[in-house]
Structure 1
Amino acid sequence: MATIEQDDDRFGASQRSFLDRILEEYGSLQGLLFLLPTLTILSVIVFYPMLVNGLLLSFKQFTIPPTVADPWVGLENYKYWLIGGGQALFVFSLKMTLLYEFVVIPLDLVVALAAALVMNEAMPARPLWRGIMLAGYASPPIAAGLVFATMEQAATYGVIYQILSPIFDIPAGGGMTANSPWAFWAIVLAKVWRDFGFMYVVFLAGVQSVPSELYEIAKVDGAGPVQRFRNITLPHLRTIIVTVVMIRTVFTVGKVAIPWAVTKGGPVNYTTFLGVAIFKQAFINWSMGRAAALGMIFAVMVVPLILIWVKTETEDFS
């Protein structure tokens, strides 16, 4: 009897602590009521389409225009991707997506951090240069992708191709965008140029928040630029780096605009990342059911990234 009462007490304590954490996070019941309109809007424009329309669509053989009277096929669309005719494309797209993430995010980080460090130094017309650094991020992704696709062709305006070709011997037929593995790097260059501005702005704010007195003391002690960066700048930016990297990882993994604009998933399917594969199934093959099933699989794989991101937002790295 005592054991049951103790279990009930622990259950009640856990319930109360969960409610206390919610109220502590949002202030009070009044704070939750203030969030209600936002949650309602998100439910209408995000959760309902994804969990209801998207999930139901994944169990149907739905094409445009519809070709069958009863489109319900159950798990057939999932079987197609996991053990059927689409398995090879799914596995290859998954590998290329992971490679894409492991290349783009570190390059984004290095370029953005270097730009922030340079733009924090005194130089002529510094406000102008700081603004120019954001030119890529201010550009529409489709426009940036098309411009880079042009510059990476072996043609009159193929500036990037003309610079890299003598060094790496890139085939002239189609330039970078039509030959593997150069098509992959063509997308990486476009993606990094277009998106590093977000990290750059955050890192610049973080670098400017470091007290200048620390650098002066380090200089007096004989610390060089590398030592100052490693022992002062990097520790101060640790939390920012973790948070920004997680944000970029979550919001890069499913983006379609730049890969589609640069290569359209080619040559063959070499740059068909998972997001591009979903797009092609839905709007090239008009197979909405298979596209929805692949989208659901993709969403399940992204959930751990989102959970890690949420954890980094609440964890103390100091």
Structure 2
Amino acid sequence: MAEPNTDLPGDRLLAYLALSPSIAILILLVAVPMVTVFAMSMQHISLGELSGPFVGLRNFERVLADPAFLNALGNTFVWVFGSVAIEMALGLGIALLLNIDFRMRGIARAVILTPYLIPTVVAVLTWHYMFNDIIGVLNYLLMAVGLISQPLLWLNSTSMAMFSVILVGVWKFFPFVVIALMGILQAIPQEQYEAADIDGASALQKFWRITLPHIMPVFLLTALLRTIWTFHKFDIIYLMTGGGPIDATTTLPVLVYQQGFVDFALGRAAATAIITFAILGVLLAVYLHLMKRAEARQ
């Protein structure tokens, strides 16, 4: 016997009315800025102007042919994948350690989460003093133990600046990975580990056969979020180095700022922002494919 149709027009109208404020906010905060940026990318427009001459795809051609863009693109990939790879590896290792039952585990968890709670400006200012080649504590400690014979130019060397920025980013945001992975680790049934112990499985085998399959969807989702957030991260790099020295740490977000608010070329800045968005879309598609494969294996 067929069930009666309870989906009445009035119910649908009520649902649409309930969703309309959220839809309006999304249109205001997402759709309108995206359309505005896309329109700006098609114009020759400077800072302070509402519109400019239509130039079509010329801004995109200029951006893609600009050596500064190619340099920023390479720096962005080094910054993003270097930071995310270390954050995920470090976060997984610490999450596994904090998942073990030991005394004062709660205090250890609180201490690990501290960097994530510190405001970015405060963290960057602190690290700036620590990196100082004259009064910095890092050079002092490394020279005290004999690892270096002269101070390192952490932020003023083209070979060290990106590593220094990545170090700060990893320190600031790896607690997010720890938080995400600890939640899923605590949800794994302990009976599976007990059965593995009875079968004589080693710690590596239990990690590979039990832990990793359970945490993989959350692991990939966390990596996706950290990739997106790191890709358009601006404040740490700009406050630490301003994109220098000699553009050694200029990433795409920093380049967009320079094009728009230093060179006053808002059209090229908008084109660079759209290209950045397209790259993130490709990365999102790759991660979603990997997540579907991980979920299918469970």
Look up the match of 1:91. 70
* 8 A contact 1:141–1:258 mirrored in 2: yes
Higher RCO by CA contacts (8 Å cutoff, separation 6 or greater):
2
Q: Distance in 2 between matches of 1:170 and 1:242?
A: 42
Seen in structure 2, the aligned counterparts of structure 1 residues 226 and 154 have a Cα distance that, compared at 3 Å, is same
| AA matched with 1:77 | N
Q: Distance in 1 between matches of 2:203 and 2:40?
A: 57
Select between 112-121 and 224-233 the one with higher mean Cα deviation. 224-233
Seen in structure 2, the aligned counterparts of structure 1 residues 310 and 65 have a Cα distance that, compared at 3 Å, is same
Please tell me whether residue 38 in structure 1 is matched to residue 22 in structure 2. Answer: yes
| TM-superposed deviation, 1:310 | 5.1
Is there any run of 5+ residues in structure 1 with no aligned partner, and where?
A: 1-27
Look up the match of 2:165. 187
| AA matched with 1:244 | T
Please tell me whether residue 231 in structure 1 is matched to residue 209 in structure 2. Answer: yes
User: Which of 21, 42, 45 is residue 62 of structure 1 equivalent to?
Assistant: 45
Look up the match of 1:122. 101
* 8 A contact 1:54–1:292 mirrored in 2: yes
| TM-superposed deviation, 1:213 | 2.3
User: Which of 129, 133, 136 is residue 115 of structure 2 equivalent to?
Assistant: 136
Count of residues in correspondence between the two structures: 284
Please tell me whether residue 172 in structure 1 is matched to residue 151 in structure 2. Answer: yes
Q: Distance in 1 between matches of 2:249 and 2:62?
A: 21
Q: Is the partner of 1:179 in helix, strand or coil?
A: coil
Look up the match of 2:226. 248
Q: Distance in 2 between matches of 1:32 and 1:104?
A: 42
| TM-superposed deviation, 1:233 | 1.2
User: Which of 249, 252, 264 is residue 242 of structure 2 equivalent to?
Assistant: 264
Seen in structure 2, the aligned counterparts of structure 1 residues 272 and 169 have a Cα distance that, compared at 3 Å, is farther
* 8 A contact 1:176–1:182 mirrored in 2: yes
| TM-superposed deviation, 1:163 | 4.1
User: Which of 73, 82, 106 is residue 85 of structure 2 equivalent to?
Assistant: 106
| TM-superposed deviation, 1:238 | 1.4
Look up the match of 1:214. 192
| AA matched with 1:37 | P
For the aligned residue pairs, the C-alpha RMSD in angstroms reads 2.8
* 8 A contact 1:145–1:258 mirrored in 2: yes
* 8 A contact 1:145–1:257 mirrored in 2: no
Please tell me whether residue 289 in structure 1 is matched to residue 276 in structure 2. Answer: no
* 8 A contact 1:63–1:286 mirrored in 2: yes
Give the share of equivalent positions with the same residue, in percent: 27
**Normalising by the residue count of structure 1, what TM-score does the alignment of the two structures yield?**
0.79
Is there any run of 5+ residues in structure 2 with no aligned partner, and where?
A: 1-11
Look up the match of 1:77. 59
| TM-superposed deviation, 1:29 | 8.1
| AA matched with 2:231 | V
Please tell me whether residue 49 in structure 1 is matched to residue 28 in structure 2. Answer: no
Residues 237-284 of structure 1 show CA distances to partners (whole Å, capped at 9, x for unaligned) of 111112211222122211111111211111110110111111222233
Residues 209-247 of structure 1 show CA distances to partners (whole Å, capped at 9, x for unaligned) of 112222233333333322222222112111111221122
Q: Distance in 2 between matches of 1:215 and 1:70?
A: 64
| AA matched with 1:78 | F
